[in-house]
Amino acid sequence: MAQNLKDKEAYQRLNYLYQAAHCVLSENPENVELARFYCFTQKTIARRLVLRQDPSVKRTLCKKCCSLLIPGVTATTRQRSKFRKTRFTVVRCLSCGQSKALLNNPDYCLWADRPEAQLAQQKQPGDKPLNNTAPQLLRGWCEERSGAAMAGVEPTPTLREE
């Protein structure tokens, strides 16, 4: 499947930039600006080519200032609860103060991993044969979206991160 991936080089570049951001921060925690530049470039490439990034990657990037969120270095993590039942992990960016709340639920299933998402994928016309794993489906989805973007059609996001 990997050799069929249309935007393989772009994905490799995203991967490189993400790792580079981690690398410069681990060498010197003062390199926040450089890490932010890498993450900003990563975000720009992904947006331009309409490539979907994994939620685990998205959750470590600040939505507002594109900082790489490393707990204790560039971000704080706190546990919060609502109505004494639902518990959240709140990650707060130390650069801009933007925070994101992630529900503490080990049984939570992302939309992309649910069977409904695969059915929705199956119904699209001119689609490739259905594979068993969600990541492969998502790659096909990304290829289609990027094709649509090049044809000047505004892609409609149907898959959500959280």
Q: Which parts of this chain interact with Zn ion (CB under 5 A)?
A: 62, 64-65, 67, 93, 95-96, 98
Closest distance between Zn ion and the C-beta of residue 19, in Å? 20
Cα 119 to Cα 14, 31, 115, 124: the distances in Å are 28, 44, 6, 9
Whichever of 98 and 136 has its CB closer to Zn ion, that residue is 98
Dist CA 77 CA 138 (whole Å): 30
Q: Which is nearer to Zn ion, 97 or 135 (CB)?
A: 97
Residue with tokens 């594109």: 66
Least Å distance, CB 74 to Zn ion, is 8
CB closer to Zn ion out of 96 and 150: 96
Rounded to a whole number of angstroms, the minimum distance from the CB of residue 75 to Zn ion is 8
What's the closest the beta carbon of residue 151 comes to Zn ion, in angstroms? 34
Query: How many Cα atoms occupy the beta-carbon half-sphere of 139 within 13 Å?
Result: 18
From first CA to last CA, the distance across the chain in angstroms is 26
Select 30 or 154, whichever has its Cβ closest to Zn ion.
30
Task: Report the sign of the C-alpha dihedral through residues 157, 146, 102, 96, in that order.
Answer: negative
